Structure 1
Amino acid sequence: MYPTVDPLAPSGISRRSFFRFAAGASALASLPIVTEAHLAYADRPKFADPNKGIHIDANENPMGPSEGARQAIVNIVPRGGRYLFNGEAELVEIFAKQEGLSVESIAPFAGSSEPLHYTVLAFTSKDRPLVVADPGYEAPMWAAKVSGAQILKVPLADPKGEAKHDVRAMLAAASNAGVIYICNPNNPTGTCTPRSDIEYVVANAPKDAVVLIDEAYIHLCDAPRSLDFVKEGKNVIVLRTFSKLYGMAGIRMGFAVGRPDLLAKITAFGGMNALPVTAVAAAKASLLDADLVPTRKKIVADTRVETIAWLKSQGFATTPSESNCFMLDVRKPGKEVQAALAAKDMYVGRIWPAWPNSLRITVGTPDEMAAFRKDFTAVMGSNTAGLAPPELPRRLQRTPFTHLS
């Protein structure tokens, strides 16, 4: 029998610390829709003034909205007294034309957290479990607790190398899965799962199971996209957001992309509500800026590569990220290093129990990462410089999946 694990455990969040987000909540059914912001804030060692210190703990984009998106917000504000539903329709049409999709296969939301939550609610139950990677993004598990679904956590394959989803193990975990969740690139490792592996999951998933592919970070990498599965009519829902590369985490805009019948089941739980006209305007401007994605992708990649190369030169191993975050093995309890950095107002990401000696680091601006290197050196000391990067422990390279109920 697999051990029962507290669903709050994946990021070390205590019930008390998390429920400050759900004031008055008295039952699992009243839990909020969990976002990266909730999880990052709940795991900070102490209260942090967002205007003080450096925050590289929530996978945010410090560049913020593009200049065109900012101007679009300014321009639309005088019309903010109107609902302007036509703006949403125009946004969907732009995205559909760019990606070769039908407008009926796109549902706009305030970010991608809502459709992620609703997809799990719609397609999992006490008889249809949720299958996720470990370490992976924890939000789907919160929704599964609401639906009463079992949660099967499958270790990533080859953590000392690619740290990709072990798709065959995920399929073997349950013959009656309701949702198989793949975050690509993965949060927290920043690593990509090969297209061939994703194709294998889609082709071999249990009947009526939905493969939920979260592409929140897809613009930051060269991995093939997954929207073609929707065009082919597969049991696939793809999530997109403007929170990451587009720098609109606080503005909230995203899409769920899937067959119309699948979208109808998730929008029954919520969504299709009028979206903020400011978010719609900013998203339209972002999509129409042809240079935005390649320009920002290069900025993030250059900063990530420089940071990881420096860490390697100091003897520390990281995951081979292609995103705006990576896992850093600090070779001691990660909580200790996280707290020591927080004492210097340097806030880094949380720890996953599967890799207790690793921290998730968000790629900030070049100046922020320079400050991180300085503080990290001070915290870790100089005696580690020049050491060869260690391999991750063998026990992390292959462990059975964990069953949560």
Structure 2
Amino acid sequence: MTQPTPINRRNFLRMGATLPIAATVLPSLATSAFAAPPAAAGVPAVGYIDVPANVALLNINEYPSGPTQAAVDIMHKMAVSGNRYYMNETSKFNGELSAYHDLKPGYLTIYAGSTEVLHFTTLAFTSPTRSLVTADPTFEQTWRVAESNGAKVHKVPLKADYSYDMKAMVAADPNAGLYYVCNPNNPTGVPVKRADIEWLLANKAPGSIVLVDEAYIHFSDAESVIDLVGKDKDLIVSRTFSKIYSMGGLRFGYAMARPDLTAKLHFYNVNAMSTTAIQCAKIQLADKQLIPLRKQAMADTRDKTFTWLAKNNYAFTPSQTNHFLLNVKQPGAPVVNALAHHSVMVGRTWAAMPNWPRITVGSPSDMQSFQSAFLEVMQLPDGKMNALTHPYPHLLNQHAC
């Protein structure tokens, strides 16, 4: 693919007006973390997208507001050219994004969301003779793909402090095809120490690959390991614009690895991206205020929720992201159903922690709705709660996030 003139992370953020197509709309810096238009803006009626207007969506780790106004403006401009493929825009932004991360050409591939990265990596490096090793609980995408690939899946329990047990992961299979690390972890929201990832890379067998999923890293103080990709480690790092950049429905993610590893992912597919998604990502990447503002706003809302939960004697995981696990002191699935009857959608549970449903951190008003509903639900008799079914089954997607 044709690459632009090399740039680095520092001057990338100074070149907003020079970026292709995006030059028509200068990146406007957000004045607040929730300054973006609401996600449903412009839709003729909320029912058109089949989501009730009064429901707080705290179930699949979405950011509670949409892309920034500048990003929405450029997407409107691009929508009228939706009949054109503009395939070269993917190639150009691939080079710009590589430069942003100080990576050489050939070390980054753009995909329609990071789920594709996890899927193709698992296909490429697991088999009936090469296992997958993960923490438990964690995001299950790699579990499902490995099992479909005939690979054995080793699920290693988290430590008591919700950290990864890297020594136990290596012991589970010293010759595993793939070790999956989600940093910070989904669903706990707890960061993984960089030193632990470095230990895993140093102590795994030659030829084993480490996949580090950094989908939620922007919300946290976790240290990225992207620089180790540039040092040609046996490492693949995935990133996404689905979370803090509010592009879950627009689908934009990417993989970073040395070229011989990315080539194995390319075997399964590399497609031209939606030009609208490319321009949305480009505008928001150049907005230097977006991440710090949204990170702080999310932390403030999350910490207020934690203070309220602690006051009411409910335990939760010490998350640094936009989601956490909550101990409801009983099987979590009926609580999830009951909350939906109070117009609050929350996430699922994991088999390793069945009493701990995952809660996405939404806007301050979303979390007020959650608090009110949660108090009412937890006062329901067990018999009444267990008899409830989910009122919005069409919105359930156990494989979403």
Relative to the length of structure 2, the TM-score reads 0.81
Structure 1: distance between partners of 2:82 and 2:353 = 46
How do 1:5-404 residues align onto structure 2 when only pairs under 5 Å count? 49=51, 51-158=53-160, 162-271=161-270, 273-381=271-379
- Give distance in 1, aligned partners of 2:203 and 2:69: 44
How far is 1:336 from its partner? 2.1
Amino acid aligned to 2:296: K
Q: 1:60, 1:362 within 8 Å by CA — same for their partners in 2? A: yes
Question: How well do the aligned residues superpose, as a CA RMSD in angstroms?
Answer: 1.5
User: What is the SS of the residue equivalent to 1:321?
Assistant: coil
Q: Deviations over 1:3-30 (max 9, x none)?
A: xxxxxxxxxxxxxxxxxxxxxxxxxxxx
Work out the CA distance in 2 between the residues paired with 1:183 and 1:290.
25
Cα–Cα, structure 1 residues 151 and 50, in superposed 2: closer, same or farther, change >3 Å? Answer: farther
| Structure-2 separation of matches of 1:137 and 1:164 | 15
1:91–1:283 CA contact under 8 A, matched in 2: no
Residue 221 (structure 1) shift: 0.7
Task: Indicate the residue corresponding to 1:28 in structure 2.
Answer: none
Q: Shift in Å at residue 377 of structure 1?
A: 0.8
- 1:316 positional shift: 0.5
Give the superposition deviation at 1:52: 4.5
Q: CA deviation at 1:247?
A: 0.4
Task: Kindly indicate whether the alpha-carbon contact (under 8 Å) linking 1:300 and 1:324 is maintained by their aligned counterparts in 2.
Answer: yes
- 1:264-312 deviation line (CA, Å, top 9, x unaligned): 00110112x1111101110111111111111111111111111011101
What is the rounded CA distance, in whole Å, between the counterparts of 1:50 and 1:201 in structure 2? 45
Contact 1:127–1:176 (CA under 8 A) maintained in structure 2: no
Secondary structure of 2:60's counterpart equals coil
1:110-161 CA distance string (max 9 Å, x none)? 0100111000000000110001110110111111022110000000112xxx
Cα distance in 1 for partners of 2:235, 2:211 equals 6
Q: Cα distance, 1:345 vs. partner? A: 2.0
Percent sequence identity is: 44
* 2:283 counterpart SS class: helix
Name the SS of the counterpart of 2:244 in structure 1. Answer: coil
CA deviation string 1:44-64 (max 9, x = no partner): xxxx84545111010111212
Shift of 1:94: 2.2
Letter in 1 for 2:200: V
- In structure 2, how many angstroms separate the alpha carbons of the residues matched to 1:352 and 1:328? 12
In the alignment, the residues of structure 2 paired with residue 344 and residue 370 of structure 1 have an alpha-carbon distance, to the nearest angstrom, of 12
> Contact 2:59–2:347 at 8 Å: present in 1 too?
yes
The CA distance in 1 between the partners of 2:307 and 2:206, in whole Å, is: 44
Cα distance in 2 for residues equivalent to 1:194 and 1:135: 17
User: What is the CA–CA distance in structure 1 between the aligned matches of 2:258 and 2:342, rounded to whole Å?
Assistant: 49
Cα separation, 2, equivalents of 1:332 and 1:204: 39
SS of 1:312's equivalent? helix
Which structure carries more relative contact order (alpha carbon 8 Å, separation 6+)? 1
Structure 2 alignment gaps of length 5 or more: 1-49, 381-401
Counterpart CA distance in 1 for 2:165 and 2:54 is: 40
- Paired with 1:290 and 1:68, the residues of 2 have a C-alpha distance of 13
1:68 partner amino acid: A
Unaligned runs of 5+ in 1: 1-47, 383-405
Partner letter of residue 269 of structure 2? G
Give secondary structure in 2 for the equivalent of 1:329: coil
Whichever residue aligns with residue 331 of structure 1, its letter is K
Structure 1 residue 175: Cα displacement: 1.8
Question: Using the alignment, how far apart are the partners of 1:178 and 1:91 within structure 2?
Answer: 31
Q: Distance in 2 between matches of 1:173 and 1:54?
A: 40
Q: Take 2:198 and 2:52, find their aligned partners in 1: how far apart are those partners?
A: 41
Choose 224-233 or 67-76, whichever is displaced more: 67-76
Where 1:83 maps in the other structure, the secondary structure is coil
- State the secondary structure of the residue aligned to 2:134: strand
1:188-246 CA distance string (max 9 Å, x none): 00000111111101111122111000000011111111101101100100000000000
